[in-house]
Amino acid sequence: MSDKSYELARFFRERNVSQKDLAEGLGVSQAYVSRLLSGKQEFGKKQAERFRDLFGLSPAWLLTGQGPMMIEGVQDDCTPVERDTNTVPIIPLKAQAGSLIDFSDAVRECDCDRIASPVKAAELAVTVYGNSMEPEYPSGSVVYVKKINPTFIQWGRTHIVDTKQGPVLKDLEPGADERHIRCVSINEKYKPFDIPCEEINGIYIVLASLSMK
């Protein structure tokens, strides 16, 4: 195994991102991801840029194995660095075991990958998995979010609802009563469902999204 393959395997293992997760997020086969990570398949420019956008990995390093592994402003240890104010922490929605509020409040800054944000108000970037919000938010796309006061939900807009069972990306509407919020998928194959307000840790409005066409 090459040094680059070893570092990539370590990078994703420490973040609990499996080859299956990567394949779903990138829209490729798991076998292709396996070849990329093992060094049997060379990175192309498009995939290198995709890994940069999703994980903060340097395209130059992915293509050549030379230079720093992470893009400028992102590093893999806890040495303090000056952060670009136009970058935000990025987490994979499926891989996040705890709640978003735990992530934003408890995870150390140096433990987070970061990604450039197209909007200054964004606080977090989240990688989307699954097809319930297609075509607007395809699997592998990145959404930029900001935490809001639940009293001021913009009904009909897309939010991430951080529940005790995990975070979900949905359009929000009033629920059956004041104690519930209705989650609606853009993909009509998925039925709406209500979430009890007492099960919600926090609500984040989607400000922008990035997807590869």
Q: What is the mean pLDDT of the chain?
A: 79
Instruction: Please tell me the predicted confidence (pLDDT) of residue 35.
Output: 87
Q: Specify if 117 maps to a domain.
A: yes
User: Structural domain tally of the chain?
Assistant: 2
Question: What pLDDT, on the 0 to 100 scale, is given for residue 191?
Answer: 94
Residue 67 reports pLDDT greater than 80:
yes
Domain holding 140, by residue range, is 87-210
**Cα angle 114-8-213, degrees, rounded to a multiple of 5:** 60
Give me the CATH number covering residue 130: 2.10.109.10
pLDDT the model gives residue 25 = 65
Handedness of CA 34, 37, 39, 45 (dihedral sign): positive
| Banded model confidence at residue 97, pLDDT cuts 50, 70, 90 | very low
Would strands 113-116 and 180-184 be described as parallel, antiparallel, or unpaired?
unpaired
Of the candidates 178, 175, 146, which has an alpha carbon nearest to the alpha carbon of residue 162? 146
Q: Does residue 198 lie in a domain region?
A: yes
Whether 100 and 204 map to the same domain: the answer is yes
Above 50 in pLDDT, residue 108? Answer: no
Inside any domain, residue 55: yes
Give me the mean pLDDT over the 38-64 stretch.
Answer: 82
Q: For position 104, what pLDDT does the model report? A: 46
Residue 78: pLDDT over 50 = no
pLDDT at position 120 over 90: no
Question: 45: which 2 tokens?
Answer: 């420019």
